[in-house]
């Protein structure tokens, strides 16, 4: 059985020579998800904060097949909204990975997707089907209408424009550019572009409307323990620095499934979490601000139902395995909010 890191190596090498597969190719590309977390949960992995490098043992082996027999994912984030850039990366994956991993390419979304959600926030298809978060490029006016606030985790946000938001309808928070910085994961002679390790942890907390998936909970807790003990500055980076607003989104999502044991991954207590539906409806992060209080509460009721149903499905081993093997790729547009 092939090692995922060896399979990814030709792709990572080709990315370094980006101009060879498409002229004027500029955007940053990062490997996200399980491939990255496998290195961060290994006890012998070294985190070099100053040089932005994660150095995993040369012997690290992540089989391309999961224990349930399904092909392991290769999740790739393209920090661009250009269809040409996205297509170039997809083509490069096909040429280098050659079907040995199951690729999903995520990108920055344009604000039209958000506007569709807000236009019909209660029973509109764009809003109803949104169960996963995404990163959106927004204009200054849109950002001001969505996010007229300063995160209580980080008091230094006032007056700063970001141009991007992370949203999981009906909640949204700003994205600071520095939170998208690229690190290098080194495994032997493979050098793979990845997010900041703290950002990898953050992404697990706000990816799904149900919060951290049950199957990921132990992994995320172990990853946080490993990363923050080896590099304490990364915890500060997450809760007081560039990652703080996105940490806050994960905390707010806990209110949708208040009886679930989400855990306190960052050690921030109950700040922002387990808020009543009435209070969350009037929170600055709530997107559809022009609606009545009753309508906002109705939207949150629908979101809570989605969160509960998704949490049940993710917690059922049979459903989860069936979804991974036979359903996920058939609803790719929903998974990618496209």
With residue 302 as reference, give the H or E element that holds it: helix 293-315
Q: What is the mean pLDDT of residues 12-20?
A: 77
CB 51 within 8 A of CB 89: no
CA distance 183 to 41: 16
The torsion angles phi and psi of 162, rounded to 5 degrees, stand at: -115, -40
CB 93 within 8 A of CB 35: no
CB 107 within 8 A of CB 159: no
Confidence of residue 140 (pLDDT cuts 50, 70, 90): confident
Q: If phi over 0 gives left and psi between -120 and 50 gives alpha, with beta otherwise, what is residue 104?
A: beta
pLDDT in tens, 299-316: 999 999 999 988 888 776
pLDDT in tens, 148-194: 554 544 433 434 445 899 999 999 999 999 999 999 999 999 999 99
* Residue 65: predicted pLDDT: 93
* Residue 323: predicted pLDDT: 54
pLDDT in tens, 196-220: 999 999 999 999 999 998 889 999 9
Does residue 109 carry a pLDDT above 80? yes
Identify the top-confidence range among 47-51, 208-212, 286-290. Answer: 47-51
For the entire predicted model, the pTM comes to: 0.88
**End-to-end alpha carbon distance in the chain:** 33
* Residue 227: predicted pLDDT: 98
Tokens of 282: 């009037």
Q: Which of the pair, 269 or 203, is modelled with greater confidence?
A: 203
* Residue 312: predicted pLDDT: 82
């Amino acid at each position: 059985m092939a090692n995922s890191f060896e399979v990814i190596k030709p792709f990572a090498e080709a990315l370094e020579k980006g101009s060879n597969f498409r002229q004027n190719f500029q955007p940053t590309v990062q490997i996200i998800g399980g491939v990255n977390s496998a290195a961060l949960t290994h006890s012998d992995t070294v985190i070099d904060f100053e040089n932005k490098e994660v150095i995993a043992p040369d012997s690290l082996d992540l089989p391309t097949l999961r224990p349930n027999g399904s092909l392991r994912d290769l999740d790739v984030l393209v920090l661009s909204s250009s269809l040409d850039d996205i297509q170039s990366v997809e083509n490069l994956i096909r040429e280098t990975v050659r079907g040995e991993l199951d690729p999903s390419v995520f990108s920055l979304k344009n604000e039209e997707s958000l506007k569709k959600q807000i236009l019909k926030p209660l029973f509109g298809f764009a809003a109803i089907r949104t169960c996963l978060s995404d990163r959106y490029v927004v204009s200054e006016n849109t950002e001001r209408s969505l996010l007229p606030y300063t995160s209580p985790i980080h008091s230094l946000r006032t007056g700063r424009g970001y141009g991007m938001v992370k949203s999981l309808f009906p909640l949204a928070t700003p994205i600071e550019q520095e939170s998208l910085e690229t690190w290098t994961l080194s495994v032997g002679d493979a050098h793979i572009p990845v997010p900041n390790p703290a950002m990898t942890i953050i992404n697990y907390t706000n990816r799904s409307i149900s919060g951290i998936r049950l199957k990921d909970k132990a992994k995320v807790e172990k990853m946080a323990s490993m990363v923050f003990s080896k590099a304490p500055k990364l915890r500060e980076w997450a809760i007081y620095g560039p990652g703080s607003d996105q940490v806050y989104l994960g905390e707010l999502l806990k209110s949708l499934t208040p009886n679930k044991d989400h855990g306190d991954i960052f050690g921030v207590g109950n700040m922002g979490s387990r808020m009543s539906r009435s209070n969350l409806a009037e929170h600055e992060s709530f997107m559809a601000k022009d609606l009545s209080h009753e309508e906002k509460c109705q939207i949150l009721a629908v979101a809570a139902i989605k969160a509960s149903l998704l949490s049940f499905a993710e917690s059922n081993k049979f459903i989860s395995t069936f979804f991974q093997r036979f359903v996920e790729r058939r609803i790719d547009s929903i998974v990618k909010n496209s």
